[in-house]
Structure 1
């Protein structure tokens, strides 16, 4: 069907308007079936937390994502585990061996000082496309708005292609309150002063997704999307759900 006036969506290969899914261990056969129908809506696949380390047929899963023009990478928790055990060189060698071209530098569990993360990014950007994450998985560990802005700016200036705002798969930390409520004052400050095309907002629930779509536009970058929600999210982006019904009036917010 192609007769409605809908918000204009970016197309693959997108550089913004990204949908980044979280793969927490979906079997490869099931994944293949989903990608056959919905791969055009997916840009990035995070093989979440540390599951990549124990995923059966990991090479085949990586190849499947690449076959469907989706960029796979390993979750930041695995990076942090390697950092903690001083195994970064082994981690890098493994990523190269598996054909992984993207790497996440995060500090969700460990408190890795910003200068150390920036140094790693400056080194690794010669070998990988770098993504960094800002914010803690610990809901009690809060940051000021000024610190959020500073980290995002520093990480982008160091060479990150995108920076993720922490939200967890539960939507209860980072840019969210423990209750799951969005820290709207923080978000408004971030979108006012920073290039939102370079920020991936973790938005694991429909409520979170629709907030960002309505505030920023249909081509906001969203992460931690469940595979089963990919089609629903695209529907939301196109103003085909009640909560985003009048989205065509907001499409100019982000080209």
Structure 2
């Protein structure tokens, strides 16, 4: 029964309003149970850090996600490891063998020049859906807003379907201060200059998720979401939590 007035929420095969989970070793049996109930709330699944390379039965896990219409991809750290060891050709073959259709290009650990990343992307877009990540995992690395904007715009122009803003699975670097607070001025600047529907904001904590929902709206793209938080996140998006209680009223004010 639908009897409440809630914020308008994208559904089905969403182009925005995405929830991207991070899988840091969820056993297949447990994953099946979660997906059986909540797969309609999940769009993408990052097999976090480089864990895909050492995950038992990784092909079965990939196939399980795909069975539930969730798009799996490997964390950018695995790409960077392959880049560092000059194994990108082998990495492409590995992804094709697993049936993975999405690839993340990042420079969170290595300092890969922007133009080199763009060249790599140009060689991948005919074979994969490409997501690029901007920002460093080093909490002490400060990047001005102008560079964030330049990189995001140029990566999208190069053919990336989305750009992820680095936040780590801890929410303590990139778009966050060391203590987890959002760099709100940076986010405001990015959203003022770039279509936020093409950005996936890494937001691993409920507090960070609620910030983006309140600032950008219920259909903001959020990444690094823990699997066990998926249902509560959807409740937050629908104004069913105290901190997002008045979302539908804000939407009406904007119309």
TM-score (norm 1): 0.98
The correspondence of residues 203-218 of structure 1 with structure 2, limited to 5 A, is 203-218=203-218
Task: Give the Cα separation in 2 of the matches to 1:209 and 1:79.
Answer: 26
Deviations 1:226-251 (A, max 9, x none): 00000000000000000000000233
Task: Give the Cα separation in 2 of the matches to 1:91 and 1:156.
Answer: 22
In structure 1, runs of 5+ residues without a counterpart are none
Task: Give the Cα separation in 2 of the matches to 1:245 and 1:38.
Answer: 22
> Secondary structure of 2:131's partner?
strand
Corresponding position of 2:90: 90
Task: Give the Cα separation in 2 of the matches to 1:252 and 1:201.
Answer: 24
Q: Are residue 195 (structure 1) and residue 195 (structure 2) matched?
A: yes
Aligned length: 255
Corresponding position of 1:155: 155
Task: Give the Cα separation in 2 of the matches to 1:251 and 1:85.
Answer: 49
Task: Give the Cα separation in 2 of the matches to 1:9 and 1:48.
Answer: 27
Q: Are residue 240 (structure 1) and residue 222 (structure 2) matched?
A: no
Task: Give the Cα separation in 2 of the matches to 1:205 and 1:165.
Answer: 15
Q: Are residue 4 (structure 1) and residue 12 (structure 2) matched?
A: no
Corresponding position of 2:104: 104
Task: Give the Cα separation in 2 of the matches to 1:36 and 1:90.
Answer: 33
Change in CA separation of 1:36 and 1:207 when aligned onto 2, cut-off 3 Å: same
Counterpart contact for 1:217–1:250, Cα < 8 Å: no
> Secondary structure of 2:123's partner?
helix
Runs of 4+ in 1 over 4 A off after TM superposition: 252-255
Change in CA separation of 1:101 and 1:238 when aligned onto 2, cut-off 3 Å: same
TM-score (norm 2): 0.98
Task: Give the Cα separation in 2 of the matches to 1:147 and 1:253.
Answer: 33
Task: Give the Cα separation in 1 of the matches to 2:254 and 2:22.
Answer: 24
Change in CA separation of 1:206 and 1:117 when aligned onto 2, cut-off 3 Å: same
